[in-house]
Amino acid sequence: MPIKWILHWQPNAGATVNTQIHTELSQCAESLNGVKEGRWKATLSFYRAMVREQANANEFPRDFLGISLVEQPTKYYLVIRGQRLVVEAESSIQMIMEKLQSYKMRVALNFEGNQYQLGDFRLRVGKVVLAHSEGLRGIVMEMEYLPISSWEKSHQIMGEFFDLWQEALSKSSLPGHFVHIEPNFSEFGLSDQYTSQHTAVQYATIMAQMISTAQSVQRN
């Protein structure tokens, strides 16, 4: 499976995320001769346990993230960050959880936007919006290198392409920059060979970072 970095947009101090920034980021992809390939979407849901008996409270995770990916339509990924656990399940597990009423979905975020092909690279630039809402909560970018599936071997070429992207972006003078946070995949029992579980862990990491950033802004 192709290697993928997932990055999130970090606004400068005092700046906010808006649709104009997303538009300019998409234009930047096109300025690098990116060929638009259509739309893409990922959905991340936050689940909280509905424990009826206190005696059972410690037996199950209090909460977890559920992630659906466009490239794996029949699968659903569960990330339990506290226990460093990522699980691939059939997409039907969402219905099962709903019927069992063991966990309740508290909030769902959609990551959606345009997909571009740039030679051996694929870029997906997307808005982060609450499900059933148009309010923009953030901007993410998936950066994929198609020929390599080794996380370690891809570092140099991914870094070089990211530098190229940053250089192109600097001409726009946008109030912010993309941040790449590399999770420790081995903590989740994942190997060097890239899988959709690696993608799920990256989305969970970005979610935590976005929450942290939002809380920091509120405190200030």
Three-state DSSP at 90 gives strand
CB 67 within 8 A of CB 110: no
Fold of the domain spanning 3-219: Hypothetical Protein Pfu-838710-001 (2.40.320)
Residue 10: Cβ-neighbour burial (10 angstroms; 0-12, 13-18, 19+): middle
CB 137 within 8 A of CB 129: yes
Question: Rounded to whole angstroms, how far apart are CA atoms 188 and 197?
Answer: 9
Residue 180: predicted pLDDT:
92
pLDDT tens digit at each of 220 positions of the chain: 999 999 999 988 888 888 999 999 999 999 999 999 999 999 999 998 886 555 455 667 888 999 999 999 999 999 998 899 999 999 999 888 888 888 888 889 999 999 999 999 999 999 999 888 778 889 999 999 999 999 999 999 999 999 999 998 888 889 999 999 999 999 999 999 999 999 999 999 998 887 766 655 555 5
Beta-bridge partner residues of 207: none
Main-chain phi, psi angles of 119, to 5 degrees: 65, -120
> If you ran DSSP here, which 8-state letter would residue 173 be given?
T
Three-state DSSP at 110 gives strand
